[in-house]
Chain A
């Protein structure tokens, strides 16, 4: 418990006055009075310096917190804090959860995609390209390496190709292969006719990239 007249209490009073001065919360008269005091009182000057230090430190801490959005000190306008009522400790512990969650989701998606792909190609899947080179393959019978090789061999057609099963043209579905410019989009039709957005497996992209490099070298 601090006593009203103790040095620490006086310092805290001064700190509060300095913060209000800094924050522009003092009236014109109070500002004038405080600035007169600043001319002669080193303790007041140091209090102002402390207020700035604290403000900077709080701004740095808040700026480093990824949960914060559109801070007013960076952008004009009203800022919104998504976790305004959460304790700082709690928000800090969530930092590692986001990447782990994304990794888990990516792994799960790969498993699902793998299963779906295997299931879809169970009957004989016919790949029909635009200007028909027609490539008929029993994909399920291929190993990953073979499939990669097949992908590489036909990849140059994929940019403009429809990737359809012969009997279900009307049920063609969108198939986005991710951010790779080479692949853009291709369409694929599966026996079930449901629509999903799938990612090309990374090993397939790697295979294609390696092949294109080899071809370019040749």
Chain B
């Protein structure tokens, strides 16, 4: 049976759901080996379809991101003769994958929304307007997969564990992390991981309060169009679109966003799209499963109150 490596993803000591998604894809290919550097996370991995956990020891990867992680994965992939390495499509995940491809002389495919048992990937390109099927043809299949693309399979048994001590070269330690500052966040989920995203644009006129209130009652993440972030109304880290983040949630609500092609490129693959806009001709309505022609300052507070009332 083929050996597949997945890189465990964790935020604040909690294994991310994306790890379970990687495991689900890997399970269809072969034996699922989850690689991690923080042993404390091991008990949480039983929740997902993981056969074996490889605990990397002897390197503090938080001090030198991301080179030693790539070097470790390369050594494990070699020792296991792995057929594929699956990594979450985050900024750091893609850097690790890129380095891994160079070290192992393997092809790489990024931002896939699926990979099948024959190692054929699916990607949505050009803002979701085209579906591409592709495959790696040289070396190990190194693939990064977007979050929220599959429902994770539940684990059926406690995975076996093994330890691995990678040999980390001095070249992988040239850039040193001297200190870290946690992201300021108000308890909202990470934009690319959230199952619901509420975004505000030019129509907010800089007032994101109704957008945030609606997001909070739904446990959603808050996004913003480039117009809103360029105006300084919302942090750039929340920008959805061609030069920002690509999201694919179950529900995307665009509030006061006209829907320029560059914004659409970042949200077009959302499962359900709702648009609220005063301009009945706004292009965002072409994408919307449900569109409200109206003022977000009326519609959003009313919707927030309606949800609160149903739950009371």
Say whether A associates with B.
no
- Chain B residues with a Cβ under 8 A of chain A: none
